[in-house]
Structures are given as C-alpha cells and as structure tokens.
Chain A
Amino acid sequence: MIHLGLWWPLLAGLLLLLWPSLGRAFALVAAGLSLLVSLFLFAGYGGQGLAYTSQTPFLPEVGVYYALGLDGAGLLLWLAVNLVVLLGVWVAEVPVRFLALAFLMQTGLLGIFAAQDLLLFYAFFEATLIPALLMLWFYGGPERLRAIYIFALFTLVGSLPMLAAIFAVRYLGGAPSFLYADLAAHPLGGSAAALAFLGFLIAFAVKTPLFPLHAWLPSFHQQNHPSGLADAMGTLYKVGIFAFFKWALPLVPEGFREFQGLLLFLAAFGALYAAWLAFSAPDWKTLLAYAGVSHMGVGALGLFSGTAEGTVGALYLLGASMVYGSAMFLLVGRVYQRTSSLEVAPVRGLARHAPALYVLGMFILMAMIGLPGLSGFPGELLVLLGAYQVAPWLTFLAFLSVIAAAAYALSAFQKLFQEKPQAQVVPDLAGREWGFAVLTVGVLLLMGLYPKLFTTYLEPLGRALAALVGGAS
C-alpha cells in the first residue's frame, strides 16, 4: 500500500507527460486516488511507532536500503500533501503537463516523509527540486531565470554540506548502515557533531525556510505561475522542520545543542521580521511568501525548544500551514483569474460581487493568522507552551508576530475584498471552485476544532525527541 501511495503519483505524472490527452479528468482521479490511499493508511494506523515498514537492500555492501515507513508525523504530512495536490489539480487552471510536473513533485515529497534510509531521504530531498525547477522554468514569469538561479543555488549549495554530514554521521558515528534505526542507535558525538549538524542545518534551513536563508522564497513565489499551483507545491516543499525533526536532531543531538541558542534566536527573530516585512509587500505572492517564513519561524521555535509540546506544535503547524498556505495561494490564483492582477495596492472591493469568495478568503486568512477554532491555532499554542519553558523572551519576540500578522493580513484583505467595489463585475465562486471551498473550509475547521485526531499520534514522537535532545517537558 505504501509503495502504491508513494509511486502512483509518479506513474500518473509520467502517463500524463506521455499522453497529455488523458487530460484533467485523469489527473483528478489520480489525485483523488492518492488522497484515498493516504486516508486508508491513516485509518489503519495503530498509533504506535513506525507502521507500513518495508525494507529492501539496495546497495547492501554500502548499507543503503530502500526503506520506507510512516509514523504519526509522516501520516499527517502525507495527508496534507495529497490533499493539497488534489485541491490544486481541482481548481488551478493550468496545462496538463503542468499537472504532470506537480505529480512528479508529489512523489518526491511523499518520499521525503516516508524514507527510513538517510541516503534515500537525500535522494528524494534533491529529486523533488527538479520538477519544482521545471515548473518555474516552463510556466514562470518574465524574471524566472533569476528566480531559478537563486532557488537552485540556495538548494544545491545547501545540499553539498549535507551530503558530507550524511557520510559523517554514518562513518564517524559507526552505524552499520544508512537506515534510520541504525543511525539513531549510533548518534554522532564529539566535536564532529557540531560540524555535521551544521551540514544538515544549512540544507534544512533553506527548506524551512529559516531566517536569513529565506531569501530565495519571495522571488520563487513571485515568478511562479499565477494559478498558484506551483506555489502550493512550493509550500509543500518547505520540509525543513520535518527534516530537522526526523534526521538532524535525533542523529546529532550533541550538535544540535551546540547551536540551539542560535537557532532559537533565528527562528524567533525570523518569525517577527518576516511578519513585519509582509506589511510592505506590494503583491499577494510576496506577502504570502513572507507570511510563510513567519509561520515557519514560529514552528521552528517550537521544534528547537526541544520540548514535547513544542515539537508536537511544530509538526502540527507544519501540516496546517501546508494546507492553509497552499489554499491561500490557490485562492489568490482564482483572484488573478478574475482580475489579472496580484497587486495589493488598488482597492478592488471584490466582496460585493463575490460574497462566497470573500467568505472563503476570510476562512483561510483567519486560519493563517491563528484564529482559535481554525487549523493554525493548535500548533501555535503548543509551540508557545513548549518554547516559553525554554526561552520566554524569544517566545515573546516571536509571538509579537501575532500582532503583525493581524496587521498585514487584514490590511491586504481589506483592499482586496472590502471598501468601494470597482465597476468591473467579477464572478463569484462557480463550478469546481465550490468543491475547493467546501473541502478547504472543512479541513480548516476539522484541524482547528479536533486537533486530537493528529496530536494523539504526534505526542509520543514529541516526547521521544524531548527525551533525546533534553528540553524540559
């Protein structure tokens, strides 16, 4: 089942590339099937440890395995990825080949969350870059070359030290293979730990994105296709928090402790800094890019606190932000389809003509700024409870962003939807957009009202990590 879930999107993507005439209907079915598979896996999860494990030697003499498995975090993120892909395929008006690239990327992302072998993880982590770059290359805006250059540079340069770190933890730590279980049983200590952690740190910080390595993100979003599909996939690619949680912290806990103070500071500062900047963003994509940096700063603060609550909060926030972040990009894509502009500045007053679109926007926006009852809040609260025990002042700094978030989000929202409506009449939600709206709002409410559904499975992971890296609990 897990293999089907993992490779089916790739297959679907390849089929679509070869026979684009299969068309949107096929894409929808394919995306729906992926979501069904992950729902099935989630429903069948027993709640303890790693499930659906599978291990096949790949290069046994070197210790490389094709090893998969899903725990609570992996399942949550699988669900998030598959849901977002379905939403994107459902609502974004893009060429079929574009959808195919999204499917290719989907497999890469699912692989990142399921890989139980460090080299396999690395392969997925890097391979996912390719479809992301291709989307930008084929469907990006006029300045996409620069955006590609920056994006690729950050990612590739980040991954070199990571490769070094991978070999370091395996060989210096003395593990018999690259399997997660083996590596975790032989954590790397001593002074190499700090260097190895630094290797991971750079690669993962780029993908978190953690201040100041977030600089690639705004141009990435600005230049991507206005439909928002590529942006949604990019949002899913912000796997840094997961990667820290799954690999960097457990494998080199000593190294993490060396950097913990710095990381807490960068996370907290970045959370406020990005939220503040977002206020000045001239267009919605830039605004959402910075909003994402801010949320991930909050999440990273929780994870780096090394507490159980903070870790659970970080993972929950990661999953939630994948959904509301992507949904917001897709919504903005629908707005672009109506107004041919993504600029924040001129007043548009869309609410008068498109009240349902307005309500949908309100829901996603409120989830984004952490309104209790919607999906953003449980994660933020748990991060707060965890981080406050370790670094109250930095927590204060980071959570100043809740004020800034209200400022940037509501100000831009007001210009887009409220005030004097323009003469040009825009259509309200129609057709497939209703499906998108209902599904999105349903998930935002579910994650906001009944977080226990996922936190039950995340909690043991949080405790285990807290015991390992030694925060208070």
Chain B
Amino acid sequence: MQETVLLPLIVALPLLGFVLLGLWGRRIGEPAAGWLASFLVLGSFLLGFWLLLQGGAKWTLAEWLPGIPFSLRLDNLSGVMLMVVSGVGFLIHLWAIGYMHGDAGYSRFFSYFNLFIAAMLVLVLGDSLPVVFIGWEGVGLASYLLIGFWYTERVNADSARKAFIVNRIGDLGFLLAMGLLWSMFGTLSISELVEKVEAGGYSFTTLSLAGFFLLIGAIGKSAQVPLMVWLPDAMAGPTPVSALIHAATMVTAGVYLLVRHAFILHGDAFLAGSIVALGLLTAFYGALCSLGQWDIKRIVAYTTLSQLGFMFVAVGVGAYWVAIFHIVTHAFFKALMFMTSGSVIHALGGEQDVRQMGGMRKHLPITHRHGLVAALASGGLPPLAGFWSKDAILAYTFEYGPWLWALMLLASALAALYSIRWYVLVFLGEYRGKAHPHESPPVMLWPNHILMGGALGVGFIGLPYVIDYKNFLEPFLSKAIGEFPHEKLPVWTEWTLIIVSALVAIGVLLWGFRFFQQPLPQWYARFQQAALNGFYVDMLYNTLLVNPLKALAELLFSADRGLLGGFAGLGSLMGGLGGLLARLEAGALRLYLLGFLLALVLLLLWGVLR
C-alpha cells in the first residue's frame, strides 16, 4: 500500500466542483454545470479504480489535532465503497442533467451534489474516526441541503430539518464512541485501533459499549428502527437526490461503519443480537409500509428501509462481506428503481401518485424495461443481482438460527411483493392520468441502461461457494475487513436454501403480479390505511417526545426569563407563578449580597487569625 498524494485528489475533485459551481454556478450555467459536476465524479471514479488496481493507497497528514492525524486509506473495503459511490454517483449525476433540466437552481443542485460526493468519499476513505466523522456530518449537511432544495415550500424545509435533527441523534452516538475509544486506547486511528483491540488488555464490556455507541450512529444514518422516521420524509428532495443519497449511498454509510468496525463488534453476542433485531424490525416495517403507499417515491423509500434492514441483519450475523455485497447490488437495483420512477415522474410532468399512473409499458417502452429489471432484481428473482446477495444473507442467517432464516425468508417474500406491486401499479393496466407521457432523453436513458446491466449481472461477483468456488468478493473484502472464519453449510443444505428462496421469490412475484392487477380485497384496504401512515409512528413520536420536549422548552424558558440569578431561578422553578416573582427577585438579591459579604468577612478573618 503506497503513500500517495493522489488519494486526497479523489476527494478534491468533487470538492472543487462544489466550490466552482457554488461560486460561479450561474455563469457556468446549464447544461455545462451538470457536465462539469458529472465528469469530476467520473474523475474520482477512474482515479480510485486505478489506485485500487495498484493495491490500494494511503495518505496521512501527520497532525490535524493534537494526537489525531488526518488520514485516508484506500483498501479493498473502502475501495468497493468508493467504486459504488463514485460509479453509481456518476451515473446519477448524468441522469440528473436531464431530470433537473430547466430548474431555476440547476447549478446550485450540482454544486450540492458534488459536495455530497466529496463528503461521502471522505466518510468512506477516512482512516481516523474524526475524519470519518467529517464525512459523516458532511453527507448529513448535503442531505439537508438537498432534501430542502426547494425550500420555499414549507414541507420540504420541514423534512430537511427533521432529517438533520434525527441524524444528529445518531451523530451523538458516534461522538460518544470517539470519546470512549479515545479514553480506552488513546488513539482514534482505525488501523491503530485494530492493533490495539487485537492486543487485548482492556475490559470487554467497555469495548462492547463502544460498539453500542457506534451502532447508535449507524442506526441514525441508515434509518433503522427506531430512528427511521426521517427517511420517508426525505423524499421531499428532487428524485436524483433520493436515488443517490437516500437509496444507493448515504444510507448505507451506517452499514459500512459497522463493517469497518467489525473487529469491535465481532463475537459480542449482545451487539449481534441487537443489530439482528433492529435489522429485522426495519426489514418488516419498511416492507409493510411500502405496501401501503400511493406516492411512488415513498413506495421506493420504504423498500430502501427494508433492504437496509437486510444489510443490518447481515452485519448482525457476522456476514460482513455479504453486507457490503448487498450494498453493491442494492446500489444498482435501487438506484435503477428510483431513476425509473423519476423518469416516469418526469414523463408525467411531476405526477407522483401511482393511482394516476399505469400503462407505462406502452407509453414508455424503454423505461419499462428498466423498471421490470429493477423490480425483479429487488424482488430477488434468480439470477438477477438482488437474488445472490439476498441469498447469501439468508445462508448466513441459517447458520445463526433456522428461525431467523425463516423470518428473513418471510421478509424477502414481502420484498418480492412490494417490488411487483410497484411494477404493476406503474407499468401495467391502462394509463389512469391525464398527462401526455413522453420517453426520457438519452442523457437519462443511458445511465439507466448501465444500471440495468448492473442489476442484471453484478451478483456474479459473489456467487455462493456451491456454484463458484472462487467467489471473488469474499476473499477480496476479507483482506480489509479481517478474517472471520465461519463453518460453511453442507453442500446440499446450501442448495436447498437457494432453491427454496428462489421458489419463494418466483411464487410471490407471480402471485403479486395477478393480485395487484385485480380490485383489492377489503382486508387489504384496511391494512393499507395503517401502512400509508407508517403505522402512526410519527404521530406517536410527536405525542410522546417532540411535543413534551417543546413544552418543556417553553416552561424552562419562562422560568429562566423570570429568574435573576440561580437561587431565584430555582425558587421560581418551584414556585413558578408570576406574581411571586417580583418579591423573589428582590429577596434573592439581598441573599446574594449577604452571601458575598459573608465570604469576604470570612476571608479577611482567616487572614488575620492565621
């Protein structure tokens, strides 16, 4: 692994785009701004790919803060993430050139988009926790700016703010993890932490707590239960944002963080159990909610939740490379799903309600092909990409416990169901709206062609060992994540699992294909009502948390304003009522003066008597 200054250049390219477009975006104008941004990201991709072929790279600025270097590291793990972020990121940039056409904030959009890529690359490449945290909050900022891109609408601004605040809960976990690891090991460099954790000589309970803090961070960023509420609202942003940030890359950062710190998590039954439980809850919650949505973007957003839950389960059962594998395949088919949705929205002049869609198979034949592949890959049809990564997760869960496997099989059945529902509602039947659908321009179709290729074929980098003994991805990633040996399932068990999950996917896809084309039965409508509102979690949070916290802020505020000094403040907090206040103030003042005089006299006395 070579020390090279080319590594920070990978980050610098999109950062340059952010600065250039931020300062002179209007002068650069449309479409140059979009092309500039896109090719800078492509530059990062190519440079990163080249460095990865050289066997990785690192770069260190000796001291950023006392005892904390600023270090980047391109190894196989961060390399794979880099490829996904900049590769898929480049395609979505291209697509956005068409999608954002004519928007008043065209160059502002690409400026933020490049900022996001730069921050995400810092997050991925960072080899020191504070550096990772710079990227971590940086992507949060970019997400905030892009969700609220059309901030003159109140709902968009609200959604952006909500995303930022909820994410900050996770960030607090990240911060505390840094505090704890620093007090344990005196370093925050990840490579050094690996060595120190290996060396031993610390309390395992404390290390477990550090893992728990990291987990909180991951939950926030990856929108796991109970912090998932921000992600559906994040769809307020333009569709490329949803595809890039809230599907393909940023939301997987939590999973990446956990995998990067597998050396802390591994072998800790409590943490593993928590991660599995949260992932499972999220997988089901997302799947069920998706089945009840009418807004095309919210449908896809909830499917993302569900797939993120799959990744968490993978981390929980120790299948770290599989979690990354699923990030890769998911990036392709989910980005494709979002961009197909976006192409449809674009074709229908901004319509997002699937009840006003349908029949796009005829009107948008090319986009239809993309949509079909996306749905089938997301539904886990063999041999598309989604099938192989999902199947690998299922195999590991079987080792963890057959009951978990059964539950995950159910979750993947739901995944097949929501994928086909999305497809049927958008593409089949007769067109139910009034717009005049038109196929997207080439600049939007070509990225989708490529993503479609990925959704079809990228699964072959991680085939199960019974098919391809020389699976590429597992040994490749293990070099960076670390070797965590596990017993491989017997050949025939593995085959049985593969066939069962394939059959389930095919069966559910076929069933859903018919079910959603017919009028929906009564029970489904009832279920849908609850699912549409996310099972009222937002309402619950508002009642139990947000409103009481706001009320308490009001209460404390009025108490504090009435207070003149701490003692009066405590008094007024208890006594509380306005009329009393004036007298209390005067009384407290006298008490103050008395106290100080007393202190003075005591001091003088002491001096004299000594």
A372 touches B172 (CB 8 A): no
Q: Is B182 an interface residue (CB 8 A)?
A: yes
Q: Cβ of B589: which chain A residues have Cβ within 8 Å of it?
A: 153
For A267-301 the 0/1 string (1 means CB < 8 A from B) is 00000010011011100000000000000000000
Most chain A beta carbons < 10 A, residue from B567, B599, B610: B599
Given A198-B599, A411-B161: A392 in contact with B560 (beta carbons within 8 A): no
Measured CA separation A396–B557 after assembly (Å): 22
Measured CA separation A160–B158 after assembly (Å): 49
For B157-168 the 0/1 string (1 means CB < 8 A from A) is 110010011001
User: Is the interface on chain A under 10, 10 to 19, 20 to 34, or 35 or more residues?
Assistant: 35 or more
Q: Is A385 an interface residue (CB 8 A)?
A: yes
Measured CA separation A373–B132 after assembly (Å): 12
B563 touches A455 (CB 8 A): no
A281 touches B557 (CB 8 A): yes
Most chain A beta carbons < 10 A, residue from B164, B553, B563, B592: B553
Kindly provide the distance from the CB of A383 to the nearest chain B CB, expressed in whole angstroms.
10
B600 touches A164 (CB 8 A): yes
Which listed residue, A160, A378, A392, A414, touches B600 by the CB 8 Å rule? A160
Q: Is B569 an interface residue (CB 8 A)?
A: yes
Which listed residue, A395, A399, A414, touches B157 by the CB 8 Å rule? A414
Q: Cβ of A347: which chain B residues have Cβ within 8 Å of it?
A: 154
Total of A-B residue pairs, C-beta within 8 Å: 181
Q: Cβ of B171: which chain A residues have Cβ within 8 Å of it?
A: 402
A154 touches B565 (CB 8 A): yes
Kindly provide the distance from the CB of B130 to the nearest chain A CB, expressed in whole angstroms.
6
Q: Cβ of B165: which chain A residues have Cβ within 8 Å of it?
A: 403, 406-407, 410
Q: Cβ of B158: which chain A residues have Cβ within 8 Å of it?
A: 414
Which listed residue, B22, B179, B561, B602, touches A195 by the CB 8 Å rule? B602
For B112-153 the 0/1 string (1 means CB < 8 A from A) is 000000000000000000100110111001001000100111
Q: Is A418 an interface residue (CB 8 A)?
A: yes
Q: Cβ of A281: which chain B residues have Cβ within 8 Å of it?
A: 557
B152 touches A352 (CB 8 A): yes
Residue of B nearest to A413 (CB): B161
Kindly provide the distance from the CB of A447 to the nearest chain B CB, expressed in whole angstroms.
12
Residue of B nearest to A313 (CB): B65
Q: Cβ of B66: which chain A residues have Cβ within 8 Å of it?
A: 308-309, 312, 382, 455, 459, 462
Q: Cβ of B152: which chain A residues have Cβ within 8 Å of it?
A: 349, 351-352, 418-421
Given A199-B603, A382-B65, A451-B65: A160 in contact with B596 (beta carbons within 8 A): yes
Q: Cβ of B564: which chain A residues have Cβ within 8 Å of it?
A: 150, 215
A157 touches B553 (CB 8 A): no
Q: Cβ of B607: which chain A residues have Cβ within 8 Å of it?
A: 167-168, 171-172
Q: Is B484 an interface residue (CB 8 A)?
A: no
Kindly provide the distance from the CB of A274 to the nearest chain B CB, expressed in whole angstroms.
8
Which listed residue, A218, A273, A372, A411, touches B130 by the CB 8 Å rule? A372
Q: Is A211 an interface residue (CB 8 A)?
A: yes
B560 touches A277 (CB 8 A): yes
Which listed residue, A168, A308, A373, touches B138 by the CB 8 Å rule? A373
For A408-429 the 0/1 string (1 means CB < 8 A from B) is 0011001001111100000000
B141 touches A419 (CB 8 A): no
Q: Is B606 an interface residue (CB 8 A)?
A: yes
Which listed residue, B148, B553, B593, touches A276 by the CB 8 Å rule? B553
Q: Cβ of A168: which chain B residues have Cβ within 8 Å of it?
A: 603, 606-607
Most chain A beta carbons < 10 A, residue from B144, B172, B176, B557: B557
B157 touches A157 (CB 8 A): no
Q: Cβ of A160: which chain B residues have Cβ within 8 Å of it?
A: 596, 600
B65 touches A378 (CB 8 A): yes
Q: Is A248 an interface residue (CB 8 A)?
A: no
Q: Is A335 an interface residue (CB 8 A)?
A: no
Q: Is A357 an interface residue (CB 8 A)?
A: no
Residue of A nearest to B22 (CB): A359
B175 touches A384 (CB 8 A): yes
Given A276-B552, A372-B133, A382-B66: A400 in contact with B172 (beta carbons within 8 A): yes
B172 touches A402 (CB 8 A): yes
A371 touches B137 (CB 8 A): yes
Kindly provide the distance from the CB of B421 to the nearest chain A CB, expressed in whole angstroms.
35
A161 touches B179 (CB 8 A): no
A403 touches B134 (CB 8 A): no
Kindly provide the distance from the CB of A103 to the nearest chain B CB, expressed in whole angstroms.
32
Measured CA separation A431–B22 after assembly (Å): 20
Q: Cβ of A218: which chain B residues have Cβ within 8 Å of it?
A: 560-561
Given A276-B553, A280-B553: A195 in contact with B606 (beta carbons within 8 A): yes
A164 touches B603 (CB 8 A): yes
Q: Is B556 an interface residue (CB 8 A)?
A: yes
Kindly provide the distance from the CB of A319 to the nearest chain B CB, expressed in whole angstroms.
14
Residue of A nearest to B167 (CB): A406
Kindly provide the distance from the CB of B440 to the nearest chain A CB, expressed in whole angstroms.
30
A410 touches B161 (CB 8 A): yes
A419 touches B151 (CB 8 A): yes
For B566-599 the 0/1 string (1 means CB < 8 A from A) is 1101100000000000000000010011001001
Kindly provide the distance from the CB of A371 to the nearest chain B CB, expressed in whole angstroms.
6
Which listed residue, B67, B558, B610, touches A172 by the CB 8 Å rule? B610
Which listed residue, A154, A276, A381, A399, touches B65 by the CB 8 Å rule? A381
Measured CA separation A451–B154 after assembly (Å): 37
Given A195-B603, A280-B554: A388 in contact with B176 (beta carbons within 8 A): yes
Most chain B beta carbons < 10 A, residue from A168, A277, A371, A459: A277
Measured CA separation A288–B375 after assembly (Å): 50
B599 touches A161 (CB 8 A): yes
Going nearest first, the 4 A-B pairs with the smallest beta carbon separation are A212-B566, A388-B179, A280-B557, A418-B151
A-B contact pairs, 13 of them (CB 8 A): A196-B603, A211-B566, A212-B570, A218-B561, A276-B552, A276-B553, A281-B557, A371-B137, A382-B66, A399-B172, A399-B176, A406-B164, A414-B157
Residues of B within 8 A of A (CB): 22, 63-67, 130, 133-134, 136-138, 141, 144, 148, 151-154, 157-158, 161, 164-165, 168-169, 171-172, 175-176, 178-180, 182-183, 549-550, 552-554, 556-558, 560-561, 563-567, 569-570, 589, 592-593, 596, 599-600, 602-604, 606-607, 610
